[in-house]
Structure 1
Amino acid sequence: MAATKSGRLPGRHRRPAERRATYGEVIAIREFRALWIGQGLSLLGDQLSRVALSVLVFERTDSPLATASVYALTYLPPIVGGPLLAGLADRYARRRVMITCDLLRAALVALMAVPGTSFSALCVLVFCVVLLSAPFSAARAALLPELLEGDRYVAGSALQNMTNQGAQMLGFTLGGILIMGMGPYRALALDSATYLASALILVAGVRRRPAPCSPDEKRPSMWKMTRAGAGLVFGDPRLRTLVLFAWLCGFYVLPEGIATPYADELTGDPRQLSLVTGLLMAAMPTGTVVGAFLFSRYVSPSDRLRSMGWMAMLTCAPLILCAARPPLVVVLLLWFTSGLGGAYQLAANAAFVQYVPAGQRGQAFGLVQSGLLASQGIGILIGGVAADHLGPELVVALAGAAGLVTAAALAVLWRRSRREVIERVRVEANT
């Protein structure tokens, strides 16, 4: 068959380029801007308080297990109440749910900032603060697809993800420096103020919307909503695989939970402990910020989905090299590279929202978020126990090896169902 003047064979057409939304058009949306700024403020305070708690507990106990246990409490509460509380985002107005959660968390963190608070009281307060993150995160995640459509949702998710990781990067890095000067209790007070600021921004910037359930409609019980959400998420093999990809972070977030004892092994100098802890905690979030920007800006929607398996394996593979006990600079580079791979979560999130009905998004996202936090909390708790016996370097390497095997298995499962998901996301991206 003869070629045309352009060099292309007749009858063959290039597939139209997939449209990629820009960050500018997403930030121009007022309500998204309010969600984004409020999220950044509260997350920055959260990371600062995590460093404060980690240093405070390690100084009191000198125990990696105790340090990891309190850090794990920032992830574990969703196991207890997350799936049930997430349903509030589908029963009540999502704006109201978020504002109420912010105000309650501000009050609880203010109590944590009282000097001399006992260790047991501190643990209870941490548990309650994180428990309230379940309905807040579910309401925000369910509201986002109403504000952003098509590839704008991916761009918006990327911005929120970069904000999340950027807040961790700044909070962990600056946290180590600030705590040296202001002390852990004042850092906790600053966290309380960020929740109040977030609530005020939501009041001013997000308009009122009715609850997903009509006032005249008979509302199902929380238990029935939880069962329906679990059936939706785990009954569909595509959604199930995407959820497992999200929960993979339990392996590669583990190093953050034992960053303080890891820093102690690297430096042996108590004066530099908080600074090195902050640098270690910031390494992965920094990588994720860079990865999320490149992934969302320069990779097409369908190619993001095709590369998910490889990116997931990249999050875990570098951690295995920590078994060689490299110096601080090399450890930071390995953890940064691990963070780069974490950008695959953007593709998993975008695909997930395509298959969840709007009226069940709060419950579905809440279940995923609860499992996400729970997987991280369990991983960190196990890592703390193991680090007491094996040392933090070997524990990080073992977590990387286990995560790599799991990611490879998920990549195989994903290949079986990704074609249909890619076609659907491609259509949405071009609308």
Structure 2
Amino acid sequence: MTANADATEPLWNWDFRKWFAGRTISTLGTEATAIAIPVLIFQQTGSPALTGLVSAVIVLPYLVFGLIAGGVADRMNRRGLMVASDLVGAMALVSIPIAHLAGLHSTVHILVVTFVVWTAFVWFDAASFGALIAVVGKSKLAAANSALWSSATVVGIVVPALAGIVIALWGPEVILMADALSAVASALLIMRIRTDLRPTAVVDGSSEKLWRSIREGLRFIWASTTLRLATLGMAALTFAGGLAMGLLVVFFARALDAPQGALGVFFAAAAVGALLASLTLTRLRRRFGPGRLMVLAFLGFVPLLVLFAFVPAWVASLVIWTAWNFLRTLATINNITIRQEETPPELQGRVNMTGRMIALSGTPAGALVGGVLVEFVPIQVVFAMAAVPVLAVSLVFLRSPLWTRSTDGDIGQ
């Protein structure tokens, strides 16, 4: 193994090429699986509640293991942790096609596999933060993240449409087998990275030290009015997003007159909205200021979700869905940036991981609430109800520093 990267090495060196290829292949499989699992559940059960439960199961591992995984990843060889995570995920995924061929269909099995796969991803993700810095060096971290984000966005545009076609022709089990193979390929590429991915400093590994670090991150967020409001606001936003994404398959079946395979187009449209948000974020922050931009994104989010719920024409819904995901992603990236700007260097890891977990807590709650409500209430009404907490937060934002301190120098300095 070689030492960690330094500023004189080019970004696209041997190790980063392996890293980039591994992450792209893994992202490709994960995007497809996130579509295939809800479809598989709905095909087998016809239950909106169980279909919505998938979104909750996907996010739950991050809430359960996120902070612990981050602490552990700073105390052990990140290469071994990432490779093990890939292989565990692959073994779990391949069990579903095998069960399908054997005629052993089980909804519980599918949900357990979903939990295991995304738990493996959490541990991989925790190790990847430090590993990427080791591979490219701090001076090229922004360029590396830009390349990885662009790749993930392109994958998010192309893969859902292809996944919709594959599912329609051969079934969702084929997607899961392909994802298992992508995880194995990712593990092999990571094993070929020559940079030393072990932590550079000896860290106190005691549980007392770990939990003390977690509490420091929580205290910092709560002490900052800006971070406290933004983080709690994102929990409301992810609640609505979790409900909408968790019930999208059901919404297609019950409320839209869309052609076969169009579900994949909607997932691709969400990625297009995300790409537009990433491309315009810097310009919009300069125009409105980071705080005011967040408030405007939240306010625009509300009517778009209501419109999506009640517009039956699928082409019009596709346009609204794209715009809704643009604002959802814009608010998310802007929130992450504000948090990074407000946090001192020595607290970046703990504060960002803590903030992410609090924000993500809304996703499983929204998915579960939506899945239950749709059994008793028309799905269009359920979608519209998801906008209520976002509207409430938006009204609070209007009287907060996020709106009153509107320049780039007021928030994030």
Task: Specify the TM-score bucket, using the shorter chain as the normaliser.
Answer: 0.7 to 0.9
Q: What SS does structure 1 have at the residue aligned with 2:367?
A: helix
Distance 1:134 1:65 in 2: 25
Residue 4 of structure 1 corresponds to none
Could you tell me how far 1:392 is from its partner in structure 2?
Answer: 2.2
- Please report the TM-score for the alignment, with normalisation by the length of structure 1: 0.78
The 1-side partners of 2:120 and 2:355 are apart by: 15
Q: Which residue of the partner structure matches residue 167 of structure 1?
A: 155
**TM-aligned CA deviation for residue 178 of structure 1:** 0.8
State the alpha-carbon separation in 1 of the partners of residues 145 and 230 from structure 2: 16
Matched residues in 1 for 2:300 and 2:84: separation?
38
Q: Which residue in 2 is equivalent to 1:259?
A: 248
* Residues 56-114 of structure 1 deviation map (CA, whole Å, 9 limit, x = unaligned): 11111112112111232112233333332332233334444333322222222222332
- Structure 1 range deviating more: 407-416 or 127-136: 407-416
Percentage identity across paired residues of the two chains: 22
Matched, 1:377 2:360: no
Cα separation, 1, equivalents of 2:341 and 2:194: 24
Partner residue, 2:118: 130
Give the SS at the match of 1:214: coil
Task: State yes or no: 1:189 paired with 2:174.
Answer: no
Letter in 1 for 2:355: V
When residues 242 and 195 of structure 1 are mapped into structure 2, their CA distance, relative to the original with a 3 A threshold, is farther
Matched, 1:203 2:191: yes
Where do 5+ consecutive residues of structure 2 fail to align?
A: 1-8
Residues 287-328 of structure 1 deviation map (CA, whole Å, 9 limit, x = unaligned): 1112212324x4566856252321233334311113433310
- Superposed CA RMSD in Å reads 3.4
**Deviation at 1:41?**
2.0
Kindly tell me the number of residue pairs found equivalent between the two proteins.
395
Q: What is the SS of the residue equivalent to 1:207?
A: coil
CA contact (8 A) 1:322 1:394 kept: no
Deviation string, structure 1 residues 21-60 (Cα, Å, up to 9, x no partner): xxxx996476665544433322221221122222211111
Seen in structure 2, the aligned counterparts of structure 1 residues 137 and 228 have a Cα distance that, compared at 3 Å, is: same
Task: Flag the 1:232–1:300 CA change in 2: closer, same or farther, 3 A.
Answer: closer
Alignment CA distance shift 1:113-1:398 (3 Å) = same
User: Is the alpha carbon distance of 1:389 and 1:423 closer, same or farther for their aligned partners in structure 2, counting shifts above 3 Å?
Assistant: closer
1:331 aligns with 2:320: no
* Contact 2:32–2:163 (CA under 8 A) maintained in structure 1: yes
The change in CA–CA distance for 1:391 and 1:148 in structure 2 (over 3 A counts) is: farther
The 5 A counterparts of 1:9-408 are: 28=12, 34-114=18-98, 115=100, 116-141=104-129, 147=136, 157=145, 159-205=147-193, 207-211=195-199, 213-214=201-202, 217=204, 219-221=206-208, 222-247=210-235, 248-266=237-255, 272=259, 275-296=261-282, 298-299=283-284, 305-306=290-291, 307-341=293-327, 342-356=329-343, 361-408=348-395
Q: Quick one: distance in 1 between partners of 2:341 and 2:78?
A: 20
Task: Give SS of 1:86's match.
Answer: helix
Q: Which amino acid aligns with 1:309?
A: V
Give the superposition deviation at 1:369: 3.5
